[in-house]
Amino acid sequence: MTNTSQPAPRAEYTRRMNRVLNYIDQHLDQPLDLRQLADVANFSPYHFHRVFAGWMGETLGDYARRRRLEKAAFRLSCKPAASVLETALATGFGSGEAFARAFKLKFGCTPTEWRRDTRQRLAALALPAGGRHADSNPDQVLGKFDQTPQRGIDDDDVSSNDPGDPMNVSIIDLPAARVAYHRYIGPYGPAIGAFWRATVSPWLQSHGLGGQTCYGVGLDDPSVTPPGKCRYDACVAVPDGFDAAGSADIATLPGGRYAVARFEGRPAAIADAWTWLTRNWLPESGLQCDDRPCFEMFRPDTVTNPQNGLMVCDICIPVRPL
pLDDT tens per residue, range 205-231:
999 998 999 999 999 988 899 999 999
Do 188 and 296 have their domain in common?
Answer: yes
Strands 231-237, 214-218: parallel, antiparallel or unpaired by DSSP? antiparallel
Report yes or no on 129 lying in a domain: no
Do 153 and 283 have their domain in common?
Answer: yes
CA distance 192 to 62: 26
What b-and-e string marks burial along 261-287, b requiring 16 or more CB atoms within 10 Å of the CB?
Answer: bbbbbebbbbbbbbbbbbbbbbeebeb
Report yes or no on 152 lying in a domain: yes
Q: What is the mean pLDDT of the chain?
A: 83
- Rounded average pLDDT per 10-residue block, the chain, 322 residues: 54 91 95 94 88 92 96 89 93 95 96 89 55 39 33 31 67 97 92 91 92 94 90 96 87 96 88 85 86 91 77 92 82
Do 53 and 21 have their domain in common?
Answer: yes
**Single-letter residue type at 5:** S
Domain that holds residue 262: 139-321
CA distance 22 to 122: 27
pLDDT tens per residue, range 232-262:
999 999 999 998 877 899 999 999 999 999 9
pLDDT for the residue 266: 86
pLDDT for the residue 123: 66
Do 198 and 110 have their domain in common?
Answer: no
* DSSP-assigned states of every residue in 192-204: HHHHIIIIIHHHH
Q: Which of 236, 257, 233 is nearest to 316 (CA)?
A: 257
pLDDT for the residue 155: 30
Q: What interhelical angle do 45-56 and 60-78 show, nearest 10?
A: 60
Do 176 and 209 have their domain in common?
Answer: yes
pLDDT tens per residue, range 8-43:
678 888 899 999 999 999 999 999 999 999 999 999
CA distance 75 to 289: 8
Q: Which residues contact 126 (CB under 8 A, 6 or more apart)?
A: 272, 275, 279
Do 95 and 206 have their domain in common?
Answer: no
Report yes or no on 309 lying in a domain: yes
pLDDT for the residue 165: 57
Kindly give the residue spans of alpha helices, DSSP state H, lying in 59-156: 60-78, 84-90, 96-107, 111-116, 118-126, 139-142
CA distance 174 to 155: 14
DSSP classification of residue 88 = H
Do 103 and 216 have their domain in common?
Answer: no
CA distance 264 to 248: 29
Domain boundary among 62, 82, 116: 116
Do 204 and 315 have their domain in common?
Answer: yes
Domain containing 205 — which CATH number? 3.20.80.10
Report yes or no on 133 lying in a domain: no
Report yes or no on 127 lying in a domain: no
Do 175 and 255 have their domain in common?
Answer: yes
How many domains would you assign to the chain? Answer: 2
pTM score, whole prediction? 0.79
Residue 80: alpha-carbon gap to chain centroid: 21
Report yes or no on 124 lying in a domain: no
